[in-house]
Structure 1
């Protein structure tokens, strides 16, 4: 079920409230505009009309893979849909779930826990992208010359997310991890990582471990495993 509102502060916050009141898995909320959109670690997310701002709800079940790996599910589903709308663009996933086009950020995904539920929020630059961010940004309109309607894009995303969620639940993390790696930047890509405590480490992308954590090969040949933090391409 997809519900659309003209404006709200945050689709994630609204869907978290709905989760507390018993909303079922598969509920989606889309806003034409957000006044308090945010990215990871509380960063602001610009929300002009014409882009996608939507959140969905996953009810965790006994036997599900670890909840944090839903970040990979969301990334794979979004990459699949973005590739359909921009088939000639080289769109890659950056750990854990950003989409980059030519190194410029196309989207962001924010997962937040609400009891035994997870809220997955998607912000996708369809018609517009900010020009004043520290790192370059992109939009589907800039890549292809046209922007899909947010409602049309979300219909495709909701179907893809449900399909990948079913595989995650029924087959485990392995097929999701394989699809993520196939869509990611190449092994050996130079990365800079910033841990939650602010420590910065540079190295080479060395894939994902079995749990979906980032493998970073350091200059001395050791491999560091990152479960959280910010990652930037060098």
Structure 2
């Protein structure tokens, strides 16, 4: 089910509130807003909405037999990438940047925010369909730059189906198979990048993911550094 509303503060915050109030929120349902006034991104960033862009959230209810929950961010990113890749005309490519950004070239097209809400996980997705926000620290791009784009409700329908499919594969075939699919549409090994974390910024080259889905960064001295959380920038 896809519920589309005209305007709200944040679709993530709305679903968190519904869960806290004990309202029925079903797995596979999406709350989509045509405008947001208080959207949020990762690491406390403000998410700038734009008319015609996709802004929506869904809820995931973990099962005991699921792969590690931290890897769900990669699943969501893969689901978004699959939808975008079907819209982008060649030779343009939608690529994944760890942990969950969808990029076209060196510009950010989509972002994802996961938030705990009791036993559930609220997943927010923002995709620049018609407008790209002007951000001070990174390049952005909108799908409309490359040709016609679906409207918000059509994109929501495609994304809901894609996420359901990727979630099923993750649950049925496990983490290792999902990581292979993720790497197949990520930036190539050897891509130069920096990672900003609580202890500072580290620069190196993308060396894949470890068995848990953490980023592997090859450092200039030959060491392999494992990153479990951080802000990644392409160089």
Task: Report the TM-score range of the alignment, normalised by the length of the smaller protein.
Answer: over 0.9
1:129 alignment partner, one of 127, 132, 156: 132
**Separation in structure 2 between the aligned mates of residue 124 and residue 152 of structure 1, nearest angstrom:** 13
SS at 1:212 equivalent: coil
1:155 is aligned to: 157
Distance, in Å, in 2 between the alignment partners of 1:138 and 1:36 is 21
Q: Give CA deviations for 1:39-94 in whole Å, capped at 9, x if unaligned.
A: 00110011121000000111011111111111010011000000001132221100
Aligned match of 1:18:
18
Please, which runs of 5 or more residues in structure 1 have no aligned partner? none
Distance 1:87 1:120 in 2: 28
- Distance in 1 separating the partners of 2:87 and 2:230: 30
Query: 1:209 maps to which residue?
Result: 210
Which of structure 1's runs of 4+ aligned residues deviate more than 6 A?
none
Q: Residue 77 of structure 2 aligns to a residue in which SS?
A: helix
Looking at structure 2, the residues matched to 217 and 200 of structure 1 have their Cα atoms a distance apart, in angstroms, of 14
Structure 2: runs of 5+ lacking an equivalent: none
State whether residues 98 and 105 of structure 1, in contact with CA within 8 Å, keep that contact through their aligned partners in structure 2. yes
Query: 1:178 aligned to 162, 177, 180, which one?
Result: 180
Residues 65 and 172, structure 1, Cα contact 8 Å, conserved in 2: yes
| Number of corresponding residues | 232
Is the counterpart of residue 220 in structure 1 residue 221 in structure 2?
yes
**Partner-residue secondary structure (3-state), 1:161:** helix
User: How much does 1:19 deviate?
Assistant: 2.7
Q: What SS does the corresponding residue of 2:46 show, helix, strand or coil?
A: coil
Pairing 1:106–2:112 present: no
Compute the RMSD of aligned alpha carbons.
1.1
Q: 1:132 to 1:164 in 2, by over 3 A?
A: closer
Report SS of the residue matched to 1:38.
coil
Q: After superposing the two structures, state which structure 1 stretch, 103-112 or 166-175, moved more.
A: 166-175
TM-score, structure 2 as length reference: 0.96
Aligned equivalents of 1:153, 1:210: Cα separation in 2: 32
Per the alignment, in what secondary structure is the counterpart of residue 173 of structure 1? helix
2:41–2:113 CA contact under 8 A, matched in 1: yes
> How much has 1:145 moved relative to structure 2?
2.5
**1:87 and 2:89 equivalent?**
yes
Q: Is the 8 A contact 2:49 2:133 kept in 1?
A: no
**CA drift at 1:219:** 0.7
- Of 96, 114, 121 in structure 2, the residue corresponding to residue 118 of structure 1 is 121
CA distance in structure 2 between the aligned counterparts of 1:139 and 1:193, rounded to whole angstroms: 25
- Does structure 2 conserve the Cα–Cα contact (< 8 Å) formed by 1:141 and 1:147? yes
Q: Does 1:44 align with 2:39?
A: no
Aligned to 2:49, what secondary structure does the other structure show?
A: coil
8 A contact 1:127–1:146 mirrored in 2: no
